[in-house]
Every structure is written in structure tokens, then in C-alpha cells.
């Protein structure tokens, strides 16, 4: 369970860092630029702790996929970026892929426990 908490924090911090990247205007605004560094450093730190209990393939796919979806939603709602049908479909496919990957992990974990 601790790995899931660290992974969730890593996702939130990566999303924060990505949002600050937009606000930093190419690292020309000081505080958002500092936010980028802090957000990504803290995100990778939390991700490294999550990897102690979650397989790399599952953790990284979840981290990048959920982070991508959240960042896209922030772009739409906070920065008035366009939201087309194709973007919605793509985001849904990302989320479906993450769910399938996590279900596959659960199944393989169950099979490993049965074999032991």
C-alpha cells in the first residue's frame, strides 16, 4: 500500500511540475521555474520509493499515463486549450491501457502466489 501512496504523490508532483513548466514561460518567470525543479525532483524521489514495491512496468506506465491525462485536463480547464473528440478518445485509451496493465499485474501476482 505504501508504494501506491508514493506513486500517487509522484503523479501529483509530476503534474504540478508540468503545470509550472507552462507557467514559467520557458524558465523566464522565477517562482514557477523553481516549482518545476521542486515538482520534478520530488516526483522522481517518490517514484523511486514506489518502485520498491511496484514493478517498473506498472509504476512507470501508471505514472506517465495518469500524469499525461491530468496534465491534459489542466491544459483544457486552466489554460483554455482545445478539447477535441480525438483528444478525449486518446485520453480514454490511455486510462483503459493503465487499467488493463494493472489488471494483468494483479493476475500475474495471483499466479505467482499460487505457484509458491
Confidence at residue 105, expressed as pLDDT on a 0 to 100 scale: 72
SS3 115: helix
Confidence at residue 116, expressed as pLDDT on a 0 to 100 scale: 57
Q: Using one digit for the tens of pLDDT, what is the confidence trace for 16-36?
A: 999 999 999 999 999 999 999
Q: At what angle do helices 56-79 and 2-23 cross, to 10 degrees?
A: 40
Specify the pTM.
Answer: 0.86
What total of structural domains would you count in the chain?
1
Full residue range of the structural domain in which residue 63 is found: 2-115
Cα–Cα distance for residue pair 69/46, rounded to 1 Å: 19
Query: Which distant-in-sequence residues (6+ apart) come within 8 Å of 23 by Cβ?
Result: 29, 32, 35
Q: Using one digit for the tens of pLDDT, what is the confidence trace for 101-112?
A: 888 877 776 665
Confidence at residue 29, expressed as pLDDT on a 0 to 100 scale: 98
Query: Residues 103, 58: contact at Cβ < 8 Å?
Result: no
Amino acid at each position: 500500500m505504501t508504494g501506491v501512496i508514493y506513486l500517487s504523490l509522484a503523479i501529483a508532483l509530476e503534474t504540478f511540475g508540468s503545470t509550472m513548466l507552462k507557467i514559467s514561460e520557458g524558465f523566464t518567470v522565477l517562482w514557477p521555474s523553481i516549482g518545476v525543479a521542486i515538482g520534478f525532483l520530488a516526483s522522481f524521489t517518490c517514484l523511486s520509493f514506489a518502485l520498491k514495491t511496484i514493478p517498473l512496468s506498472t509504476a512507470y506506465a501508471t505514472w506517465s499515463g495518469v500524469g499525461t491525462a491530468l496534465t491534459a485536463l489542466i491544459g483544457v480547464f486552466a489554460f483554455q486549450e482545445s478539447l477535441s473528440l480525438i483528444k478525449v478518445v486518446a485520453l480514454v485509451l490511455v486510462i483503459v491501457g493503465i487499467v488493463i496493465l494493472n489488471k494483468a499485474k494483479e493476475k500475474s501476482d495471483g499466479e505467482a502466489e499460487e505457484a509458491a
